[in-house]
Amino acid sequence: MVEAAMKSPMRDSLEPTYQQLQKMKLDKSPFVVVSVVGQELLTAGHHGASVVVLEAALKIGTCSLKLRGSVFSALSSAYWSLGNTEKSTGYMQQDLDVAKTLGDQTGECRAHGNLGSAFFSKGNYREALTNHRHQLVLAMKLKDREVGSLSADQILKKKKRIGVLFYVKKMFQVP
């Protein structure tokens, strides 16, 4: 697989990453190599191919929750780009579960933000608000003002949108 990837148009972006893997002696780990290729495909915009490769990495398996979480995050992005919101949110939830298990509050914060935006786009406003509230609490714990202000802004926008939708439904008596 490495040989094929190095002969592909992705060589320029993949080669430095592969050299780092060699230095860290991770170039012999099938999971790591396959997941790196999958993430490079995702970065290059080859979403369908990245899904195939990243899911293959999960089938290979790894003992590292952190590495598996990284693949979940990449798969959520790939499926989102392909318009498959169900699979995307499923992988977002798995990414959140891994971050919680690892005690990775930054990862949790990111995952809650992603889930909040995903649920909102699907019309699940309560779940969207709940996730953005969790994101805000975590951002405050982490003293991350940028993420905190973004999540507060998302909460306000979503509450405003929900209020408008409620008013329109009531006005036109839509169930």
CATH of the domain at 129: 1.25.40.10
- Model confidence over 65-104: pLDDT tens digits? 999 999 999 999 999 999 999 999 999 999 999 999 999 9
144 within a domain of the structure (yes/no): yes
Q: Are residues 14 and 61 in the same domain?
A: yes
Q: Are residues 69 and 119 in the same domain?
A: no
33 within a domain of the structure (yes/no): yes
- If one compares 114 and 10, the residue with the highest pLDDT of the two is 114
pTM: 0.81
Q: Are residues 114 and 65 in the same domain?
A: no
Q: How many domains does the chain have?
A: 2
The confidence band for 164, taking pLDDT boundaries of 50, 70 and 90, is low
Mean pLDDT along residues 153-166: 68
Q: Are residues 78 and 1 in the same domain?
A: yes
In whole angstroms, give the CA distance from residue 60 to residue 34: 9
Q: Are residues 69 and 25 in the same domain?
A: yes
Q: Which domain holds residue 150?
A: 104-175
Per-range mean pLDDT, top range of 23-32, 76-85, 123-132, 142-151: 76-85
Q: Are residues 25 and 63 in the same domain?
A: yes
In whole angstroms, give the CA distance from residue 35 to residue 30: 8
Q: Are residues 73 and 1 in the same domain?
A: yes
97 within a domain of the structure (yes/no): no
Tell which of 54, 83, 112 closes a domain: 83
57 within a domain of the structure (yes/no): yes
Q: Which of 123-132, 136-145, 154-163 has the lowest mean pLDDT?
A: 154-163
- pLDDT at residue 4 above 80? no
Q: Are residues 151 and 73 in the same domain?
A: no
Q: Are residues 110 and 157 in the same domain?
A: yes
Contact 76, 89 (CB under 8 A): yes
Q: Which residues contact 90 (CB under 8 A, 6 or more apart)?
A: 76
16: number of Cβ within 10 Å: 9
Mean pLDDT along residues 2-29: 82
Q: Are residues 108 and 171 in the same domain?
A: yes
Q: Are residues 8 and 74 in the same domain?
A: yes
Residue 124 Rama label (left phi>0; alpha psi -120 to 50; beta): beta
Q: Are residues 112 and 69 in the same domain?
A: no
- Average model confidence (pLDDT) across the chain: 87
In whole angstroms, give the CA distance from residue 146 to residue 139: 8
pLDDT at 166: 56
- pLDDT at residue 56 above 90? yes
In whole angstroms, give the CA distance from residue 20 to residue 22: 5
